[in-house]
Amino acid sequence: MDTELARAGSPSIVIDSTAVRAYLLDLQQRIVARFEQLDGKPFAADHWQKPPGSPLGGMGITRIVEEGNLLERGGVGFSHVTGSKLPPSATAARPELAGRGFEAMGVSLVFHPRNPYVPTVHMNVRFFIARADGQPDVWWFGGGMDLTPYYGFEDDARHFHSTCKRALAQFGAELHPRFKRWCDEYFFLKHRGEPRGVGGVFFDDFHELGFERSFALQRAVGDGFLDAYVPIVERRRDHAFGERERDFQACRRGRYVEFNLVFDRGTLFGLQSGGRTESILMSLPPVVKWRYDWQPAPGSDEARLYSDFLRPRDWV
């Protein structure tokens, strides 16, 4: 879609979805290039296109590495899709948009490192336009990033949150605490009563700064990802580990699977809208375990993850 008029409950303004698409493709390539350097193994590229007659139109590029030197599994996906009706996951918070057609584009990544001392990370930035005949288009940005350690380090958590805060600072001091709180509340396993990790930032349905500034905010979050995560990777990747740490990592990865399949809006949107299943589920870890009512030994590093890290904290 070329530059056009769209509206999000305010006077019509010019939006440029072509610029958003170009940014997202560049972001995907920059992140993949950096992690190919860090891992030493190239990412495969899967270019997919929805067939004619499919309820979902559009295309995507999935960049994936498995059994790498650093990453046991890592995926960075770009998608640009259209559909005739927004799925329930996209209208749960915006019921007034039910029944509209849509255009959606975004980059989503999850990295599952092999070393349990390197945390799993997720990042996503996306752009939606919802359309209905005879009504103004409604658009918004969403995204964020969050960190899921298996063994907690205070300096890692502080660095990640400080980088998120710096990325948002130019858009108003109130945004970081608001987006951090949103992240803490969103990445929470309600059935277990515990956070998925140490959080980060999360935002959705965001258009309040107008198109140009809202797009700039999305770019700041996307561009901040490498600064937030790479120093942690470089600090922890050579930390010695054994079967105990790998076993705990596999158990904690089970929580990641539970969240993504039960609560994650992006996963649900992709599956409900008829997206490419392999690309949607690339976020799942390759090795995972569940144990009945497992509890960490008191005073252990595993117990410290629960007591000191898996709870909302003001890290900066």
Cβ–Cβ < 8 Å for 146, 122: yes
How many C-beta atoms lie closer than 10 Å to residue 31's C-beta?
23
Confidence category of residue 281, pLDDT binned at 50, 70, 90 = confident
Could you state, in order of their start, the residue ranges of all structural domains in the chain? 4-309
List 47, 80, 112, 122, catalytic entry: 122
Phi, psi of 240, rounded to the nearest 5 degrees: -65, 140
The string of pLDDT tens digits covering residues 114-150 is 999 999 999 999 999 998 888 888 999 999 999 999 9
Q: Decide: residue 274, CB within 10 A, 0-12 exposed, 13-18 middle, 19+ buried.
A: middle
Cβ–Cβ < 8 Å for 132, 100: yes
Average pLDDT over residues 2-7: 40
Q: Is the pLDDT of residue 294 over 80?
A: yes
Average pLDDT over residues 24-47: 98
| pTM score | 0.91
CATH class of 4-309: alpha beta
Q: Examine the residue annotation and report whether 176 is marked as an active-site residue of this protein.
A: no
What is the model's pLDDT at position 132? 86
What is the model's pLDDT at position 15? 82
Cβ–Cβ < 8 Å for 164, 238: no
Mean pLDDT, the chain, rounded, equals 90
The string of pLDDT tens digits covering residues 207-235 is 999 999 999 999 999 999 999 999 999 99
Poorest-pLDDT segment among 74-78, 79-83, 188-192: 79-83
What is the model's pLDDT at position 157? 98
Could you give the 3-state DSSP secondary structure of residue 289?
Answer: coil
Poorest-pLDDT segment among 36-45, 178-187, 256-265: 256-265
Confidence category of residue 11, pLDDT binned at 50, 70, 90 = very low
Cβ-defined contacts of 34-38 (< 8 Å, 24+): 34/226, 34/230, 35/65, 35/70, 35/71, 35/74, 35/76, 35/111, 36/65, 38/70, 38/230, 38/233, 38/234
CA distances from 40 to 45, 100, 228, 287 (A): 16, 44, 20, 21
